[in-house]
Structure 1
Amino acid sequence: MSNSDVESRKGSGITVNTSNNPGLGNEIYTDSNIETNEQNNGNGKLGKWQNFKDSFKEAIPENSESYIDKTELRDYNELTDVERAALNSSRTQMKKDLSTRHLMMIVIGGALGTGLFVNSGGSLNTGGPAALVIGWVIIATMMFSTMVALGELCVTFPVTGGFTTYATRFIDPSFGFAMGWNYALQWLILFPLELVAAAITIKYWNHKIDSDAWVAIFYVFVFILNMLDVKIYAETEVVMSLIKIIAAAGFFILGLVLIGGGGPSGGYIGGKYWENPGAFSHGFKGVCSVFVTAAFSFAGTELIAVMGSECSNPRETIPKAAKQTFWLLTIIYVTMLTLIGCLVPYNDSRLLNSDPDAKASISPFVIAIKNGGIKGLPSLMNAIILIAVLSVANSSVYASSRVFASLADIGHAPKILSYIDRRGRPLVATLFTLIFGLISFIASSSKQNEVFTWLSALSGLSTIFAWLSVCIAHLRFRRALYVQGRSTDELTYVSQTGVWGSVYGIFMNMLVLMGQFWVALFPTDKADAESFFSVWLSLVLFVVFYFGHKLWKKNWTLFIRAKDMDIDTGRKHIDMELLKQEIIFEKQRLANSPLYYRAYKYWC
């Protein structure tokens, strides 16, 4: 910030940094006459144009909320890397405009996509209808314990980056560095991948138009949405996610009709496909394959942690959004896949179609509708698939930019990526993601499959690493509370499954990794090195990041000692006695409520 900028802001009550670290200065100014756009008061074309230009300038630090800062009496340059990470991540300039509704729909936008509408067809073929239900239910139990643990950490520490920051603070900076970069790369690569998938989906109707033309249209659409205010972006995700939810509800009704023999081209189906060709395909290995696919279908649920610093009221918003999103996704997945298992036999030849240009036609939802003899609806379902793919592409830009910005905040990425503009957008990180997305213009190339296969391999296991880090960080945080003589009484939200839920989450994630190892190494009866590295290359990258950071920082400790953890910086100043009274009052109120209401409040 230049001296002229500082001088222009004097008298405003806003803290402006004058030290080496942005946001940590202690000189106070007022917000009068800060910029030309305020002088124009937004009136007329000049004022609107000036407002638009000024919106891209760096955000002015605000002191609207009070946070605990254990390092405030020490010089910034004397702080350790972990202390700097805790301090910087707690001083975000992002706008706190997101509500429970926004959080739920953004998470659904990132999680409810090709995993349900397309990839479930491959899982049906490899595992069978019973394996679909078993795999998704078991993974759902793991996801609940992980989500509530994540909710506890997010409510306690509503900081930028969520679990990437928690891994650095409560596990080890090198682990946080490796996991954060691996996770950011996942969303970075997913953006162009989904744009290409959207272009391929269009080929269901038209094969003549070049795929790059559709990529260009979709790219501009996503670009504009991510350059708008976060609230506008969130409202767009609400609309697209609602379309997917309505489509799932519509298919539920249609599926029941078709199973009962109400379709134009079919009699009573019932559970005949569970008997012939059978409930399971490819035995136990098929179940493991579905188990792995089910885990990856929930990828995106952890975005709640990434959005924690942009919530208007974390204490109320995050727990409700975490639990309700989990139940909504689980009900949609299990219900839809149960119906698909009844409507499509696992040996249907269309499920084996490996042609990428036939991506839409191999959707088990489209196959089920075609089998029922209903005309017109396959095209409608394909349109839903297209919306789902674009929604995931949109969410990937949001997620990637926020994670890169948080990595920059805690010193794990170039500082420029932490630039937040006056609309609360991580502008540089967003532009970086959008520029990388230009790789999607290889959609017309014959080499696109090879390129994206190996790009995806760089972060193929990042979601599992993220969930593992959440469970481990939660255990380490609870251990720090115990060792430092503190308790969960001071927490505004406590995980329903507690530490044992996180232990269960770690165990289940390790099972998923073992299943992925087996399926990747032996896709058939013989070992396949290319198949193995197309999945496990991400582990190699994780190890390189981890030990690279160890060498860079010369940090050879395995984990941070519980007695040395900072479990205060980044937490809001709260009157603990008042909080305890509020909790007691709430418990008494719930105790006098009907049983169904108490169960609802506990689980949802």
Structure 2
Amino acid sequence: MSTSRRPSKDVIQMDSFNASPVSSIRKGNSGFRNNSSTSNKSDDSTIYNRQEQQGGGSKYLHDDSDLSNDANGQVGKGLQRNLEARHLTMISLGGTIGTGLFLASGSSIATAGPGFSQVAYSLIGSMVYCFMSSLGEMTTYLPITGSINAYGTRFFDPALGFMLGWVYWFSWSVTLATELVASSLIISYWVPTETCPGWVWAMVFIVVLTSLNLTSVKAYGETEYWLSLIKVLAVFVFVIVGFLYIGGAIGTQAPGELKPGPEIFNLDPFHGGFSALFSIFLNAGFSFQGAELVGIAAGETKNPRKNVPRAIRQVFWRILMFYVLTILIIGMTIPYNDPELANTDGSIESSPFTRVFLRAGITIGGDIMNAVILVAVLSAGNSGLYASSRALHTLSQEGNAPKFFGYVNQYGVPVYCVAATALVGCLAFIVSLPQIGQGQAYDWLLALASTTGFIAWLGIAFSHIRFRMAYKAQGRSLDDLPFVSKLYPFGPIYTIVICMIILLGQGYTAFAPFSIKMFLSAYVTLPFIAILYFGNKFWCKTKILRLVDVDLDTGRSFVEYDDEDAADGEKENWWKRFVNFLF
């Protein structure tokens, strides 16, 4: 379990100073000054600039000096902290509750039975909690935008940050194209392609999503909040309807059908043996991807020391509840051997959610779930465009991408990064069209992007280990951390082991019998990762940082509280606390 630490009542404010190179940081020298006379509770932070010289080339650590806001959150010269706690929570939920839950959960039960499905999703959920706890510790101490690659650069080797940044950007860019394809298919449920081609709807959606992301980070956060809220409410309704149907309060049972509940669940709960469990274990991992968006958004969040831990603590159990309860209900209402449960064609008619609604007597279940899945697709595309644009912005700030990508307009939006990501997403979508090579090139792009989420999780876990080692080597106390991961070192080690098993074992079906196409599809990402890391290391002559040289100061943010904050929380009405608990 993780805990957040409340700083002392005395307010600490950091003055700007001319930061020395990273190599000048030594054990016991934090470079901070106490100046309580200039403190301001409404000010999130005053942050440093630092320049690092490596291998004769100029490498810049991520510069978040433009994130120091006044009380109104307006700076006009860089990214702005305008995301609130509720935005941050829903951003993480929006990246993980999607088509993987609404459609793929049924195929998992059909493959391995409801018992093994519970095991697989619970194991992956525990791993998600571990790396989220690691991410929470780092992001509350250093709440910087694009933290996934920034931490790799900061705590280990600039080449690692280079690799993680480009891999993460590519993954979400191609994912954006995937969501465009899905949106066009979903719309065809109501509007046949003969009436309006699917690519027209895809273009409409990419224009809408791009416009939202170009407006301001607050517009993105507000949109994501409501889209994710619709998905969360849909899951809550499904859970309630499912339990009412299992209890016999609603719905009718056809003659000869098994009674919903243990009778259906116990048909063959552990179907298919270990190989089936392992196959859905991989699928469950992909379903949870997107939880790390909390770290990406932390650099643009108000009061990150308070809001990031709150979002991380709340998000995990909600996601775990959604997946575990959902799979339990599906496994107790639809037999695992139901031919439509596998959903091999991905059609909405065979969605397990839709079938449970229909069994419960809700005849418009298909239309409802189609609308919810469309919302899920748009939410994932919205989050993907945001995450990839911030990763590209961070790469530019570090000197690993063209300098013009570092430009931020007066509304705090890296416009060129958003435009470049949207363009790549459009190109990948065009490649996916049947008229362009039957979509084969797109299939390879999707194979390249499919495993990169696990690479990002590996990067988080490894960066956390390096962060703690450097923190200890420089003589700093854990009592000074605003949020401490109590799972260290088990948490990051467990995350690394599970991710490595998934990355190396995902193509096991290609070996019996051996299939070169399936083998390349499963493992084509790994050589590209090696090329990115070692290529940058050779070209830029980067070096693995010594622990005493790791920069633990640049971008550090102090957000101090006093007893008034606690008093404000105690004054909240019970219904407000209940709403905050749920959403």
In the aligned structure 2, how far is the partner of 1:242 from the partner of 1:313? 22
- Matched to 1:335, the amino acid is L
Cα gap change, 1:435/1:231 in structure 2, threshold over 3 Å: closer, same or farther? same
Q: Which residue does 2:31 correspond to in 1?
A: none
Q: Which residue does 1:234 correspond to in 2?
A: 221
In the aligned structure 2, how far is the partner of 1:264 from the partner of 1:228? 49
Of residues 60, 63, 66, the one that matches 1:88 is 63
- The reply to whether residue 471 of structure 1 matches residue 456 of structure 2 is no
In the aligned structure 1, how far is the partner of 2:349 from the partner of 2:412? 41
Report how far residue 353 of structure 1 moved: 4.8
- Matched to 1:269, the amino acid is P
Q: Which residue does 2:382 correspond to in 1?
A: 394
- The reply to whether residue 516 of structure 1 matches residue 497 of structure 2 is no
Q: Give the 5 Å matches for 1:194-205.
A: 194-205=179-190
Q: Which residue does 1:565 correspond to in 2?
A: 550
Number of residue pairs the alignment of both structures matches: 510
Q: Which residue does 2:296 correspond to in 1?
A: 306
Of residues 421, 437, 447, the one that matches 2:409 is 421
Indicate conservation of the 8 Å contact 1:291/1:515, yes or no.
no
- The reply to whether residue 527 of structure 1 matches residue 514 of structure 2 is yes
Of residues 267, 274, 278, the one that matches 2:265 is 274
Cα gap change, 1:314/1:83 in structure 2, threshold over 3 Å: closer, same or farther? farther
Q: Give the 5 Å matches for 1:223-302.
A: 223-261=210-248, 262-266=250-254, 268-276=259-267, 278-302=268-292
Q: Which residue does 1:153 correspond to in 2?
A: 138
The secondary structure found in structure 1 opposite 2:63 is helix
The secondary structure found in structure 2 opposite 1:350 is coil
Indicate conservation of the 8 Å contact 2:63/2:554, yes or no.
no
1:333-366, CA deviations, whole angstroms, 9 ceiling, x for partnerless residues?
11111111122222222244543xx532332212
Cα gap change, 1:443/1:367 in structure 2, threshold over 3 Å: closer, same or farther? farther
Indicate conservation of the 8 Å contact 1:89/1:406, yes or no.
no
- Matched to 2:539, the amino acid is W
In the aligned structure 2, how far is the partner of 1:376 from the partner of 1:482? 59
- The reply to whether residue 437 of structure 1 matches residue 445 of structure 2 is no
Of residues 478, 491, 507, the one that matches 1:488 is 478
Indicate conservation of the 8 Å contact 1:200/1:211, yes or no.
yes
Cα gap change, 1:418/1:372 in structure 2, threshold over 3 Å: closer, same or farther? same
Structural RMSD (CA)? 2.8
- The reply to whether residue 219 of structure 1 matches residue 206 of structure 2 is yes
The secondary structure found in structure 2 opposite 1:88 is coil
The secondary structure found in structure 1 opposite 2:376 is helix
Of residues 107, 121, 124, the one that matches 2:106 is 121
Task: Identify which range, 440-449 or 303-312, moves more after superposition.
Answer: 440-449
In the aligned structure 1, how far is the partner of 2:527 from the partner of 2:236? 41
In the aligned structure 2, how far is the partner of 1:289 from the partner of 1:432? 35
In the aligned structure 2, how far is the partner of 1:81 from the partner of 1:396? 35
Indicate conservation of the 8 Å contact 1:68/1:572, yes or no.
no
Report how far residue 535 of structure 1 moved: 2.6
Q: Which residue does 1:378 correspond to in 2?
A: 366
Indicate conservation of the 8 Å contact 2:407/2:414, yes or no.
yes
Task: Identify which range, 160-169 or 498-507, moves more after superposition.
Answer: 498-507
In the aligned structure 2, how far is the partner of 1:370 from the partner of 1:264? 10
Taking structure 2 as the reference length, the TM-score comes to: 0.81
The secondary structure found in structure 2 opposite 1:349 is coil
In the aligned structure 2, how far is the partner of 1:419 from the partner of 1:342? 53
Task: Identify which range, 167-176 or 564-573, moves more after superposition.
Answer: 564-573
In the aligned structure 1, how far is the partner of 2:165 from the partner of 2:56? 15
Of residues 163, 174, 187, the one that matches 2:172 is 187
Cα gap change, 1:183/1:259 in structure 2, threshold over 3 Å: closer, same or farther? same
Indicate conservation of the 8 Å contact 1:90/1:160, yes or no.
no
Q: Give the 5 Å matches for 1:497-516.
A: 497-516=487-506
Cα gap change, 1:80/1:359 in structure 2, threshold over 3 Å: closer, same or farther? farther
- The reply to whether residue 411 of structure 1 matches residue 408 of structure 2 is no
- Matched to 2:434, the amino acid is S
Report how far residue 86 of structure 1 moved: 2.6
Report how far residue 311 of structure 1 moved: 0.8
Report how far residue 272 of structure 1 moved: 2.2
Indicate conservation of the 8 Å contact 1:110/1:392, yes or no.
yes
Report how far residue 229 of structure 1 moved: 1.8
In the aligned structure 2, how far is the partner of 1:533 from the partner of 1:350? 30
The secondary structure found in structure 2 opposite 1:290 is helix
Indicate conservation of the 8 Å contact 2:94/2:227, yes or no.
yes
Indicate conservation of the 8 Å contact 1:193/1:452, yes or no.
no
Indicate conservation of the 8 Å contact 1:178/1:546, yes or no.
yes
Q: Give the 5 Å matches for 1:96-135.
A: 96-135=81-120
- Matched to 1:186, the amino acid is S
In the aligned structure 2, how far is the partner of 1:414 from the partner of 1:326? 36
- Matched to 1:459, the amino acid is A
In the aligned structure 2, how far is the partner of 1:264 from the partner of 1:395? 40
Q: Give the 5 Å matches for 1:294-373.
A: 294-355=284-345, 358-372=346-360
In the aligned structure 2, how far is the partner of 1:570 from the partner of 1:82? 22
1:30-62, CA deviations, whole angstroms, 9 ceiling, x for partnerless residues?
xxxxxxxxxxxxxxxxxxxxxxxxxxxxxxxxx
Of residues 62, 67, 71, the one that matches 2:47 is 67
In the aligned structure 1, how far is the partner of 2:504 from the partner of 2:554? 37
Indicate conservation of the 8 Å contact 1:127/1:283, yes or no.
yes
- The reply to whether residue 459 of structure 1 matches residue 446 of structure 2 is no
Report how far residue 169 of structure 1 moved: 1.3
Report how far residue 372 of structure 1 moved: 4.6
Indicate conservation of the 8 Å contact 1:68/1:573, yes or no.
no
Indicate conservation of the 8 Å contact 1:146/1:471, yes or no.
yes
In the aligned structure 1, how far is the partner of 2:121 from the partner of 2:208? 33
Indicate conservation of the 8 Å contact 1:166/1:473, yes or no.
yes
In the aligned structure 2, how far is the partner of 1:158 from the partner of 1:513? 29
The secondary structure found in structure 2 opposite 1:485 is coil
The secondary structure found in structure 2 opposite 1:458 is helix
Indicate conservation of the 8 Å contact 1:273/1:342, yes or no.
yes
Structure 1 stretches of 4+ moved >4 Å: 76-84, 89-92, 441-444, 446-449
Cα gap change, 1:81/1:407 in structure 2, threshold over 3 Å: closer, same or farther? farther
Taking structure 1 as the reference length, the TM-score comes to: 0.79
Report how far residue 543 of structure 1 moved: 0.9
Indicate conservation of the 8 Å contact 2:298/2:304, yes or no.
yes
The secondary structure found in structure 1 opposite 2:237 is helix
In the aligned structure 2, how far is the partner of 1:315 from the partner of 1:127? 42
Report how far residue 225 of structure 1 moved: 1.5
Q: Which residues of structure 1 form unaligned runs of 5+? A: 1-14, 16-62, 591-600
Indicate conservation of the 8 Å contact 1:211/1:443, yes or no.
no
